[in-house]
Structure 1
Amino acid sequence: MTVHLAFDLLAMLASLGLSAVLYRWRLREIARPIMTRAGPGYALALVGGAIAGGYGLGALNLMLSDVAGIGRSILGALAGAIAGVELFKAWRNLEGSTGLIFVGAFCTSVAVGRIGCLLSGLDDQTYGIPTSLPWAVDQGDGIGRHPVQAYEALAMLAFLAFFVEALRRRAPLVMARGFYLLVGYYAAQRFLWEFLKPYAKIIGSLNVFHLACLALLTYAGVMLWRNRDVRA
């Protein structure tokens, strides 16, 4: 777990650094007005939701898979943070997307953190199912497995590259609805990788993370549709 902790810290530092750069470069004029109106309660709603969702979904998956321990889930943290923020915005009558400033940080955190998961071996409980593909990895039990953590890291790096380029061009779609694009993209790619993990199935071939992905895809689709005429 020392490796995982080191990469968690690295992910935090990298995401904070990139967030600061992107904020000063392109996001300040968009984010500052609505974040000022939101006040400190916004941060409490976001962090509280992320903690509840992250540990809640992670623990539920371990329980369903008959694995002892305390689970954490970045998917659950994202879903919980969204729920907390949307409830807070409804309470304060705040309109508009507030998540654009977190897109770069989320992509970076997942990309770096998943490498830590990969290097942590089987104890991390994020390993893939066995495969004979040339890039299979042995995570400590002598069995070649799908490096699903690397798949997810590469997928998020690809989105990060797209996002930064879109910011450079001030692409209207991304400037106005970039966070919802991120949520939909993350949920879609994560949905695919879940078929390559040995978690307990609860509906057909779907595990609890599949269902969470479907919920996030629905959320992203609804928000993109509702904000289809919004311009940054």
Structure 2
Amino acid sequence: MLVIPTAPWAHGLFDILAWASSAGLGATLHRWRLRDAAERLARATGPGYFAALAAGALVGAWAMGSTNTLRMVAPVLSHSIAGALAGAIVAVEIYKRAVGLAGSTGTPFVGPLAMGIVVGRWGCLFAGLPDQTYGVPTSLPWAVDLGDGIGRHPVQVYESLAMLGFLLVYLTALRRRRSWAFRRSFYLLSGWYGAQRFAWEFLKPYPRLIGPLNIFHLLCLGLVAYACAYHRADVRRERAAARRGTLSVLWRDDEPV
């Protein structure tokens, strides 16, 4: 069992590190491969897009996080990255539908979001038990003691490593100029995040909502369903655009670019 030094302020410190690393990676990817994608996004969307994204992420983060922790033994308000992702998706898709924008707009956010989760989850670990993101007890050799003498699954590390794996695959695809990395990577990020987090949720002592499933299980299933449906729809649009001789990236409805 690994004894982990913990402190409540660790979460804030790693939040800062997560934001800094996300911004650094975003700037690097912009210069390296994604300048065109970012410029297309800026041309196709107005300020309302980013306002919808920010508002959706904020509402989703606190609504989903608090819905979970207010049902625990010691109820508290909290926020959740899964809720922020889901809220941002809902708000942005509503905005896109309202203005007639089709196709994926999330490519510039994929690397920074993945990096933020990779780094930020370590803050959840080092914040210890008060963070309420710890795992259930286990006797595995890599169990962590967060200060109460009980070995637990380091679910925060599981999630960080899972997203690191995705990030490495994504960066490799960008280097090799794979089409999916430029066109549908946000859908794949959403699906992978939802799938891996769904698995780790079974290793957390969160209140159950339906059978063995907690609220984040249901949220993650929604993320996977979103990713599959929108990925499939985008592939169909791409094939249709190829037949018409048009490009199907960030276009207004029925407008060739």
TM-score, with structure 2 as normaliser: 0.88
Out of 48, 55, 58, the position equivalent to 1:51 is 58
SS in 1 for 2:74: coil
In the other structure, the counterpart of 1:223 is 230
Structure 1 position 86 matched with structure 2 position 93? yes
Amino acid in the other structure paired with 1:49: G
In the other structure, the counterpart of 1:64 is 71
In the other structure, the counterpart of 1:115 is 122
1:95 Cα shift? 1.4
In the other structure, the counterpart of 1:198 is 205
d(CA) in 1 for partners of 2:104 and 2:113? 16
Moved more, 167-176 or 120-129: 167-176
Amino acid in the other structure paired with 1:54: A
Tell me which protein shows more helix as a share of its residues: 1
1:163 Cα shift? 0.5
In the other structure, the counterpart of 1:149 is 156
d(CA) in 1 for partners of 2:209 and 2:37? 42
Cα deviation digits, residues 121-152 of structure 1 (max 9, x gap): 00001000000000000011110000000000
Answer with 1 or 2: which has the greater Rg: 2
Amino acid in the other structure paired with 2:160: A
d(CA) in 2 for partners of 1:225 and 1:17? 31
Count of residue correspondences: 232
TM-score, with structure 1 as normaliser: 0.97
Amino acid in the other structure paired with 1:53: G
Cα deviation digits, residues 33-65 of structure 1 (max 9, x gap): 232221111111001000000000000001222
In the other structure, the counterpart of 1:209 is 216
Structure 2 unmatched runs, 5+ = 1-7, 239-247, 250-257
Out of 28, 45, 51, the position equivalent to 1:38 is 45
Moved more, 27-36 or 206-215: 27-36
1:94 Cα shift? 1.0
Amino acid in the other structure paired with 2:53: L
Cα deviation digits, residues 182-216 of structure 1 (max 9, x gap): 00000000000000000001111000000000111
Structure 1 position 187 matched with structure 2 position 200? no
**Quick check: 1:128–1:148 contact (8 Å CA) kept in 2?**
yes
SS in 2 for 1:196: coil
In the other structure, the counterpart of 1:106 is 113
d(CA) in 2 for partners of 1:31 and 1:12? 19
Quote the RMSD (CA, aligned, Å).
Answer: 1.1
